Amino acid sequence: MTTSKLVYMFEEGDKSMKMLLGGKGANLAEMTKTGLPVPYGFTITTDVCKAYYENGKKHSPLLDEQMMEAVRKLEAKTGKKFNDSKNPLLVSVRSGAPASMPGMMDTILNLGMNDVVVKTIANTTNNERFALDSYRRFITMFANVVMEADRMKFENLMDEIKHKNNIKLDNEMTTEMLRELVEKFKELYKQETNEDFPQDPIEQLKRARDAVFRSWMNDRAVVYRRLNHVPSDWGTAVNVQEMVFGNTGEDSGTGVAFTRNPSTGENKFYGEFLMNAQGEDVVAGIRTPNKVEELEKILPKVYQELVDIRTKLEEHYHDMQDFEFTIEHEKLYMLQTRNGKRTAQAAVKIAVDMVNEGLISKEEAVLRLEPAALDQLLHKQFDTNALKLATPLTEGLPASPGAAVGKVVFNAEDAKSWAAKGEKVILARLETSPEDIEGMHSSVGILTARGGMTSHAAVVARGMGKCCVSGCDEIVMDEAGKKFTCKGSVVKEGDIISLNGSTGQVYVGSIPVVEPSLSGDFGTIMKWADEFRTLKIRTNADTPHDAKIAREFGAEGIGLVRTEHMFFESTRIKAVREMILAKDLEGRKKALAKIEPFQQQDFEGIFTAMDGLPVIIRMLDPPLHEFLPKHDQVKEIEELSKELNTTPKQIEETIASLHEFNPMLGFRGCRLAVVYPEIMEMQVRAIFNAALSVSAKGIKALPEIEVPLVGNIKEYTPLAELTHRIAEETGAKGKIHYTVGTMIEVPRAALTSDVLAKEVDFMSFGTNDLTQMTCGFSRDDAVKFLGKYVEKGIYEQDPFQTIDQEGVGLLMKHAVKLAREVKKDIDIGICGEHGGDPRTVEFCHNIGMSNVSCSPYRVPIARLAAAQAAIKQRTGNDQQKFNK
C-alpha cells in the first residue's frame, strides 16, 4: 500500500491528490502551486497512516529519513531553523483526511518552542508577552494531545492566576503573570506525565505527528466516520507548516475576506481585518475589525497584493472564495481558501454573474446552487437584524418555511371570523385535523404543540405555502381556555406572536418581515435549469389557487389533486355524512347526488387554472370515519342526528362500526371504490362533466384519473372499466383526452408493477404510504423512536423527508424496471412529500422516472434538483457530492 515517497513538500502536490495528501494538504499544495503566498510546509501522506495501523502502530524507517529531509528543505525555504538562536522555526502540526471531519482530530500549534526559543523570540520580536503566550499555548496542546493529560487542569491553573490578580479575560494577563503561568504549566506537565517538558523540536515533532495519527482512531472520529460513511481505512495525512503570526506588532495583522459579497452576491471585495491580532481575535469580536478597503491606507502594498489574490483565486477556483490571511511584519500569507458560504440570494447572483463573466458554464452555475436553499427566496423572512435582537420563546419543528406575525387564535372558527374582520391571525392548535383547513387558509401562520414534519398541519401548510411551526412540545396548549403556556409565560387569544417557519422558532411580539425578492437572476438560472432537466415537474394542488401559484413557479401539470379535502368543506360535509350513514345503495346515491355539483365546480376551477396541462385526480382515499364526528363529540353527534333525521345512537353505532385498529392499513383507498363503486362513479362523472363544461369555453382539460392504494391488478381493472363506462355515459369519450392510472403505495403494487403496467396508463409512487408499509412504521407513531433511530444512524435521514434509497428506493427501482419492461414509455411519477426533496428528486431521475410532483412552493427547488441530476448523470460529475 505504501509507496516509497512518504512526504510531499507543498509545492509537490495539487488538489487532485486528496486521497494521498488529505483535503487540507491537497488544498495547501494547490494554493502553493497557484503562486499564492502560503507559509511553507510539507504533508506526510495518508499511506503512512494506513501503514502505521497495519504494522501495529510502527513506522517504516524511511519515514523519519524523509521527514528530516523535508524539515531541512523547510528550514532552507523559510530561512528559519529549529532551535535557532536568531530566527527559530515554529510549525503547526495538523491532521487532514481525504474527507472533511471538522474538529474530530487533533492540532498542535507553535511546535518548536522551548525554554531557549521563547527567549529568542521575546528578543527578536521585542514582545516577551507574545513569546510567553505562544509557549503556554504550546505546552497545553502538547500535554493534552500527545500525552493525553487533562486540559482542564491547565485551564484551572490559568484561572487561579487570573482570579488572584482579579482579572477576567486572557488578554488582560500581563507578561509577569504569563511568566509565572509558563513555569506552573511545566511543573504540571511533569506531575502529569512523569517527564520534563521535551525541549528538542524534532522529538516534539515526531511525537506530535504520531499523536495526530492516533487521533484517527479516537472515539469521536470513529463515530463520525460511521455516521458519515467515511471508510476507516482511508487514514489521515499530517500537515507540518511554518507558523506565521499576525500579533507581532502594528505592522502585522490578520483577516478574513470573501471575493464577493456573501450576503448580496455583489461582485465587490468584502472582508475584515485587525492589526496586531491573531485569527481568533477577529472571530471573538472583542475588538471591532476594520473593513478590508481600509487596509489600503495602512499597508497599500499588501492591500494591492490582496486585491490581486482575489482575482487570482476566482480565476483559479471558479467560485466565490472565503479566505484567511495573516500579515507578519508587512508580509502577506494565505492560510486557507475555500468556496465561500453565501445566502441563497447571493448564490443566485454569483452564479449568474460568473456565467456572464465567462468564469463558469451554465451547467456549473446550475450545479452550484443548493436546491433546498431556494426556499429562502420563495417565502417571507424576518429582517435579519431585527431577528438578532429577538429571543425566541421556544422552538418547534420548521414545518413550513417563511415568517408570520399575527394575533393568536385557538380554533378554526375564530381564525375565520377574525380574518374576516381584517385581522392577521396565527392559528394555534394542539394538532390540526381536516376540519381546520378553512381556518388554516384564513391564518398567516400555524403553530401546533404536537406532530412532526409530516403531520397534518405540516403537510397542509406546505401545500398552502403557509408558514408553520409544528411539534412545539414545550407548549402546553389549552384550546378550550384560549391560551397556551410555555416555560411559565402565558400567551392568550389576541396576543401577537411571530413564527419562523424556516427555523421553528416562536417569538412573543412582532418582528419586522421582509418580502421575498424573485429577482431577474433567479428567473435566469431557472431557465437554464429547465434547459438541462429531463424530469417533468408537477405540483400537488387541491385548489385552483394553489394550482395557479404552482403554474407561476413552473409546474408542468398537477401530479396529485386530493379530493378528500373538498369533502370537508362546510357546504358538503353534511351530504358526505348522509352518504356514510345511508342504509343502502339508494340512500348513498341520493347523498352523492348532492355532492356531485360541488365536485364538478372544484374540477372546473382546477382545469381552468391548468388549461392545457395534465391533472392527476386521485379518487377518494381516507377511511370514511374521518368524515364523522369523533365518538366523544356528543354535541356534534346530536346536531348531526337532527340534521339527518336519525338518532344519536345510530350515529354512534356507525362511528363504532367504522372504528379501525390500524386505519393506515384499513378500509380506504380503492377499497372504498371496490365496495362502494357509486362513490367513484360520482367523482368520475364530476370530472368528465367538468372537463366538458370548460371545453365549451375553449379551455383544454387533460384529466388523469388515479386509483389510490391498489395492491392487486384485480382491484384496478373493474375501476378502470367503470371509468370508461362513465366516459361513454357522459359523452366525454372521444371529446376529452383522459387517462387512467394508479398510485404505487402498497409494496405489493410495486412488486407486481409489471402486471399493473399492462393495464394502467400511468403510475405515481405515493412514497409516504410506501415508506410506511415498506419500513413498517407509521409516520404518526414513529416519532416515538425515529429520532433515536436517526441519531444512532440506523436511518441516515428521516425516511419521510428523503427517500430511504437502500430500502424503499430499492423497491421503487425494481418497480420502475419491471414496469418499463412491459411498457417502455409509461409515465411514472412520484407525489407526496418526497417529491420536493432534492436528494429524492435526484434519485427519481437516476432510476428513470418521468416526473415528480411536489407542493407549489417547492416546484422551483424540484426543477433545480432535476436539472442538477441530469447534468451530473450526463457528465458523471460527482465531484459536487465529494466537496460537501
Q: Which residues are catalytic?
A: 456, 831
| Helix or strand run (H / E) with residue 276 | none
Select from 312, 319, 323, 308 the least CA-distant residue to 359. Answer: 319
How far apart are the C-alpha atoms of 235 and 119, rounded to whole Å?
A: 38
Q: What spatial distance separates the first Cα and last Cα of the chain, rounded to whole Å?
A: 27
Sign, CA torsion 443/447/453/455:
negative
Q: Which C-beta is closer to a second copy: that of 211 or that of 709?
A: 709
Q: Which C-beta is closer to a second copy: that of 788 or that of 884?
A: 788
How far apart are the C-alpha atoms of 824 and 463, rounded to whole Å?
A: 32
3-state secondary structure of 457: helix
Closest CB 747 distance from a second copy, rounded Å: 4
How far apart are the C-alpha atoms of 700 and 442, rounded to whole Å?
A: 31
Pairing of strands 381-382, 505-508: unpaired
Closest CB 727 distance from a second copy, rounded Å: 23
Q: Which C-beta is closer to a second copy: that of 198 or that of 663?
A: 663
How far apart are the C-alpha atoms of 335 and 324, rounded to whole Å?
A: 5
Other Cβ atoms less than 10 A from the Cβ of 630: the count is 12
Closest CB 884 distance from a second copy, rounded Å: 22
153 touches 106 (CB < 8 A): no
Closest CB 749 distance from a second copy, rounded Å: 8
Closest CB 774 distance from a second copy, rounded Å: 5
Q: How far is CA 384 from CA 42, 380, 439, in A?
A: 43, 12, 30
Q: Which residues contact 417 (CB under 8 A, 6 or more apart)?
A: none
Q: Which C-beta is closer to a second copy: that of 372 or that of 664?
A: 664
How far apart are the C-alpha atoms of 291 and 308, rounded to whole Å?
A: 17
Q: Which residues bind a second copy (CB under 8 A)?
A: 660-667, 671, 674-675, 709, 711-712, 714-715, 745-748, 751-752, 769, 772-778, 780-782, 784-785, 788-789, 792-795, 804, 806-808, 810-811
Q: 316-337 as b/e, with b when 16 or more CB fall inside 10 Å? A: bbebbbbbbbbbbeeebbbbbb
Cell numbers for 16? 487532485
Beta bridge partners of 560: 540
Q: How far is CA 356 from CA 340, 389, 398, 626, 729, in A?
A: 20, 38, 36, 55, 58
Q: How far is CA 473 from CA 394, 418, 431, 447, 504, in A?
A: 9, 26, 11, 11, 12
Other Cβ atoms less than 10 A from the Cβ of 588: the count is 19
Q: Which C-beta is closer to a second copy: that of 552 or that of 660?
A: 660
**Residue 185: CA count within 13 A, CB half-sphere:** 30
Q: Which C-beta is closer to a second copy: that of 547 or that of 710?
A: 710
Q: Which C-beta is closer to a second copy: that of 630 or that of 748?
A: 748
Q: Which C-beta is closer to a second copy: that of 496 or that of 755?
A: 755
Closest CB 475 distance from a second copy, rounded Å: 16
Closest CB 127 distance from a second copy, rounded Å: 54
Q: Which C-beta is closer to a second copy: that of 320 or that of 773?
A: 773
Beta bridge partners of 253: 275, 327
Q: Kindly tell me the number of DSSP H helices and DSSP E strands found in the chain.
A: 37, 31
Closest CB 599 distance from a second copy, rounded Å: 24
Cβ-count burial of 267 within 10 angstroms (0-12 exposed, 13-18 middle, 19+ buried)?
middle
Cell numbers for 306? 490582496
Closest CB 502 distance from a second copy, rounded Å: 28
Closest CB 229 distance from a second copy, rounded Å: 12
213 touches 170 (CB < 8 A): no
Q: Which C-beta is closer to a second copy: that of 201 or that of 766?
A: 766
